[in-house]
Chain A
Amino acid sequence: MDITSWDWNTPVKRVVQADACDGEAVWLEEPQVSPDGERLARVAFLDGEYGLCVNGALGEGTYSRIWYPRFSPDGRITALANDMEWTMLVDGEAWDTYGAIWNTQFSRDGAHIAAAIQQDGEYGMVVDNVPWETLYPNANHFTLSPDGSHSAAAVQVEPLGQAEVAKFQEGIFGVAVDGTTWSDRYVNVFSMAFSADGSRLAAEVRLNLYEYSIAENGKTWPATFSCVWTPAISPADGRAVAPVRIAGKWTLAAGGKPIWKSSFAQCWHQFFSADGKRLGAIVSPAFGRWTLALDDKAWRTTFGDYVEEACFSPDGARAVCLGKENGKFAVVVDDVAWPGRYDMAWAPVFSPDGAHVAAKVERGGKYTVAVDGREFGSGFTAACAPVFSPCSTKVLITVIEDGWLVRRVVPVADFKA
């Protein structure tokens, strides 16, 4: 996603009327805005047929159903469409057809597009219109590597009859990478994570009804735990780090051994800084309280409902998350909550220089973007996730305003307290 080529100079641009459509639409739904804010896609229901409308123009061809329109990070519009069989539409071009296709995923740069497929009752993935050669009786936890080079899923390698509990417990699940399974079989396979370059994959595995572990590139950790959660792979050394439960408490482990001294009532959604030198996780330091822990040390600001959407600044020096208390959201930067409270908040982002934080927020049904705790305007009908300019001095805010898709480039200094 090359944001340097986006228009960062036009302060306000009315892009298109939000309900524009050059066909007779009964309704227009599932609005999606392109990452650069220049296009609005909607599914149009045309009296029994479905079309995809982008900036008011209906694409060629109608289908008996279209749903799940999504822009890839590189700006292509995708949607899932059915005409007896299902296909993926990419900028209007249809892929091969399947019995079902869903769960659209993109590589980080948007160059690769993947989805889950079912064909003749068997399951797998398709990447850039190339399906796995081997499909399975069932599959889930579909995952595309950040660079799009590999895809993986938890697969059931043998069919299972009703109430065949003994066979199930012998282990009939595997991890399939690009359609080929690792040699080991497991009682269950759950979510998994690739390294950035796709060369390493780690998955949560269940070895019997009581023992869980992490399998890295086909090799299971020597230690087992009563429970584990989704692993993450360190950008620094390629090892998997996962939350593990030991004696009723949670901590982070690598290679089967705890790497944090602290343990918590809960610990999950761990994340690395870009260089892999820093490690954070969402933790519950005491039952019913939630916060972030960075490098084995919990923040003091805690929340009763939950904490989510945590990340480091690009240089790893700062961190941010959302916290929710009594139904109201706060944005917390470096252990300090912004003064505002919101009815909903979306994933906060750092500016490229790490100096600022922006987040989409909603209060009373009105949406806007806040930067460093200061909100822009009095709220809009809808808003998209904010994007900082490459120089960190401006923010792209795309909103629905007075019935129009409006693209605003707002200097950080214009956000008022």
Chain B
Amino acid sequence: MSEVEAPAAAEDTRTWVEKVKAKQQEDIAAGKYDYTTIEDANLDRAEKNLTEEHIQKVVKKWLATEGGARLKTYVQTCVHCGLCSEACHHYMSNSKDPKYSPVGKVKRTIWKILERDGRLTPAEVHEMSVIASTECNLCRRCLQYCPFGIDIGYLMSSVRRMCHLLGMTPLYIQDTAHSHAATMNQMWVKDDEWIDSLQWQEDEARDEFADIRIPVDKEGAEVYYSVIGPEPKFRTQLIYQAAAIFHNSGVDFTFPANPGWDNSDMCMFTGDFEMMGRIKKYHYESAMKLKAKKIVMGECGHAFRSVYDVGNRWVGWKMPPIPMIHSIQYFSELITEGKLKCREKYPEKVSFHDPCNTVRGRGLHEYGRHVTRVFCQELIEMTPNREYNICCNAGGGVINCGPPFKTKRVMSNEWKAEQLARVADQGVTTIVAPCHNCHGGLDDIIHTYHLPLKLKFLGDIIYEYMDKPEAE
């Protein structure tokens, strides 16, 4: 009997946008948008240990000592217009359920706290922690649309602070906060492991650049380069790439040998501001000790927020005590100064994802585009972009709340998936995202929706396509 050839599968002619929308309908039908059964060991533990009396005592003290003019002004100014709603990816991705709107989240937390004068049940505090820690990325996109400039990210951060004071913080991000406290880095990297990572990468890089150095604890360097904890832990190639770029550009740089090298700060996101301040103190003082002229930090968004805006100010430094420059800006400056040159352009179509903390927080978007245009053949803008870009839904500590909340996190960013699908439909194959958390969030979206996209840091493309006259 002759074999009958199976009919070829019909070609899927849908656009990527249509595929994303269809998948959302499948996920809704499959119950993936039902988040009511999420269990978190630390939240559950805290709920069992709390009493209403203790909650009210702590909340009232928190309001009296930390609920200052900013909190009161925001609460009293909001006219409930709802213009923030359609700015929020949680709201837009969850069928426009009002409870996910920014103002809805304020209503479910701050307003309830104030109306009840802190009389909350442990279960209510549990719910508030989930709202503040997993349903808001503190991305401040809603702030761009609020007619009064109310920073709902600040309000949600305040709720996290209250929850921290009650021990009600999701397990995995609390573990990361503990790592910061014990090691001054977020990945439990021990002192010798950090040094070993640097020396290992120097040895590796020497195969490509015979005389390359990764200077450690060099006094008086022009640049103190700081990274986030995951880089020595499992992204050491980023240290290699940064060293190669600096070496190739003639930059006088160093890494510190001792704690302070990690610029990241999950304590900022758990509301443990005392530990946040301690981490920032170590970071800046390690650079001061080495008499570095400036700090250049790797491609991380939240760390930039912590060193440039929030953490430094808790300590008492109005501005960073040492010039603090994000890699996005520094790479652009190296290009402008003629120190960093493109050998040939990255040939694929790319789109640039604006991280919230470097763009809405600091306006570095044109630097990122400058670097991208110099090193890439074609930049196609995603829409919306710059300060109106849609959040990755990983930042703000949300991805750090870990596996229990992963499905909720990914489902709550179907809107971002649609945005990425639109550029995929235009032939974009590569998303450039100069932020670690954004990589985490976008990577999950790309895998969930099977989008034909690759993710790159600026450093990935620069390293691969820069002119390397000394390379062997």
Chain A residues engaging chain B, CB cutoff 8 angstroms: 26-27, 29-30, 45, 65, 67-68, 99-100, 102-103, 116, 118, 123, 138, 140, 156, 162-166, 168-169, 173, 187-188, 190, 206, 209-210, 212, 226-227, 229, 245, 247-248, 265-266, 268, 284, 287-288, 290, 304-306, 308, 324, 327, 343-344, 346, 362
Question: A27-B213, A103-B257, A210-B165 given as contacts; is B195 within 8 A of A288 (CB)?
Answer: no
Interface residues of B in 148-198 (CB under 8 A from A): 164-165, 167, 171-172, 174-175, 178, 181-184, 190-192, 195-196
Question: A209-B164, A308-B288 given as contacts; is B65 within 8 A of A102 (CB)?
Answer: no
For A248, what are the chain B residues with a Cβ–Cβ distance below 8 Å? Answer: 65
Q: Say if the beta carbon of B211 comes within 8 Å of chain A.
A: yes
Q: Do A65 and B211 touch (CB < 8 A)?
A: no
- In the complex, which residue of chain A has the Cβ closest to the Cβ of B258? A103
Determine the distance from Cα of A29 to Cα of B217 in the docked complex, in whole angstroms.
Answer: 12
A-B contact count (CB 8 A): 108
For B402, what are the chain A residues with a Cβ–Cβ distance below 8 Å? Answer: 163
Q: Do B257 and A343 touch (CB < 8 A)?
A: no
For B216, what are the chain A residues with a Cβ–Cβ distance below 8 Å? Answer: 67-68
26 contacts between A and B (CB under 8 A): A27-B213, A29-B213, A67-B216, A100-B196, A118-B190, A123-B190, A140-B183, A140-B184, A140-B191, A140-B259, A156-B182, A165-B171, A166-B45, A168-B175, A173-B182, A190-B278, A209-B167, A209-B272, A227-B274, A227-B277, A227-B278, A229-B281, A266-B316, A288-B319, A305-B319, A327-B323
Q: Do B191 and A102 touch (CB < 8 A)?
A: yes
Q: Do B211 and A265 touch (CB < 8 A)?
A: no
- In the complex, which residue of chain A has the Cβ closest to the Cβ of B58? A210
Query: In the complex, how many angstroms separate the beta carbon of A170 from the nearest chain B beta carbon?
Result: 12
Determine the distance from Cα of A279 to Cα of B315 in the docked complex, in whole angstroms.
Answer: 22
Q: Do A100 and B218 touch (CB < 8 A)?
A: no
For B361, what are the chain A residues with a Cβ–Cβ distance below 8 Å? Answer: none
Determine the distance from Cα of A209 to Cα of B45 in the docked complex, in whole angstroms.
Answer: 15
Chain B residues engaging chain A, CB cutoff 8 angstroms: 41-42, 45, 65, 164-165, 167, 171-172, 174-175, 178, 181-184, 190-192, 195-196, 199, 210-211, 213, 215-218, 220, 257-259, 272, 274, 277-278, 281, 288, 291, 293, 315-319, 321-323, 402
- In the complex, which residue of chain B has the Cβ closest to the Cβ of A70? B217
What 7 additional pairs, Cβ within 8 angstroms, besides A100-B196, A168-B175?
A: A165-B174, A166-B45, A209-B272, A245-B274, A265-B316, A288-B316, A305-B321
Determine the distance from Cα of A169 to Cα of B167 in the docked complex, in whole angstroms.
Answer: 10
Query: Which of A138, A165, A268, A306 has most chain B Cβ within 10 Å?
Result: A165
For A327, what are the chain B residues with a Cβ–Cβ distance below 8 Å? Answer: 323
For A227, what are the chain B residues with a Cβ–Cβ distance below 8 Å? Answer: 274, 277-278
Q: Do A266 and B315 touch (CB < 8 A)?
A: yes
Determine the distance from Cα of A400 to Cα of B427 in the docked complex, in whole angstroms.
Answer: 57
For B178, what are the chain A residues with a Cβ–Cβ distance below 8 Å? Answer: 165, 168-169
Could you say which of B164, B174, B184, B220 contacts A362, with CB atoms under 8 Å apart? B220
Query: In the complex, how many angstroms separate the beta carbon of B115 from the nearest chain A beta carbon?
Result: 26
Query: In the complex, how many angstroms separate the beta carbon of B62 from the nearest chain A beta carbon?
Result: 11
Determine the distance from Cα of A76 to Cα of B191 in the docked complex, in whole angstroms.
Answer: 25
A interface SS class: strand
- In the complex, which residue of chain A has the Cβ closest to the Cβ of B289? A308
Question: A103-B257, A165-B175 given as contacts; is B321 within 8 A of A138 (CB)?
Answer: no
Q: Do A102 and B195 touch (CB < 8 A)?
A: yes
For A65, what are the chain B residues with a Cβ–Cβ distance below 8 Å? Answer: 199
Determine the distance from Cα of A268 to Cα of B315 in the docked complex, in whole angstroms.
Answer: 11
Q: Do A344 and B293 touch (CB < 8 A)?
A: yes
Determine the distance from Cα of A229 to Cα of B259 in the docked complex, in whole angstroms.
Answer: 16
Q: Do B274 and A306 touch (CB < 8 A)?
A: no
Determine the distance from Cα of A245 to Cα of B278 in the docked complex, in whole angstroms.
Answer: 13
For A324, what are the chain B residues with a Cβ–Cβ distance below 8 Å? Answer: 321
For B220, what are the chain A residues with a Cβ–Cβ distance below 8 Å? Answer: 344, 362
Determine the distance from Cα of A67 to Cα of B199 in the docked complex, in whole angstroms.
Answer: 10
- In the complex, which residue of chain A has the Cβ closest to the Cβ of B210? A26
Query: Which of A209, A265, A305, A324 has most chain B Cβ within 10 Å?
Result: A209
Determine the distance from Cα of A99 to Cα of B196 in the docked complex, in whole angstroms.
Answer: 11
Question: A247-B65, A344-B291 given as contacts; is B318 within 8 A of A288 (CB)?
Answer: yes
Determine the distance from Cα of A29 to Cα of B254 in the docked complex, in whole angstroms.
Answer: 13
For B211, what are the chain A residues with a Cβ–Cβ distance below 8 Å? Answer: 26-27, 45
Query: In the complex, how many angstroms separate the beta carbon of A321 from the nearest chain B beta carbon?
Result: 13
Could you say which of A45, A156, A306, A343 contacts B321, with CB atoms under 8 Å apart? A306
Query: In the complex, how many angstroms separate the beta carbon of B171 from the nearest chain A beta carbon?
Result: 6
For A118, what are the chain B residues with a Cβ–Cβ distance below 8 Å? Answer: 190, 192
Could you say which of B191, B199, B218 contacts A116, with CB atoms under 8 Å apart? B191
Could you say which of B192, B215, B316 contacts A100, with CB atoms under 8 Å apart? B192
Determine the distance from Cα of A162 to Cα of B178 in the docked complex, in whole angstroms.
Answer: 11
For A138, what are the chain B residues with a Cβ–Cβ distance below 8 Å? Answer: 182-183, 190
Question: A102-B192, A140-B191 given as contacts; is B257 within 8 A of A68 (CB)?
Answer: yes
- 7 shortest interchain CB distances as A-B pairs: A288-B318, A100-B192, A266-B316, A306-B321, A163-B175, A227-B274, A284-B316
Q: Do A102 and B323 touch (CB < 8 A)?
A: no
Query: In the complex, how many angstroms separate the beta carbon of B389 from the nearest chain A beta carbon?
Result: 31
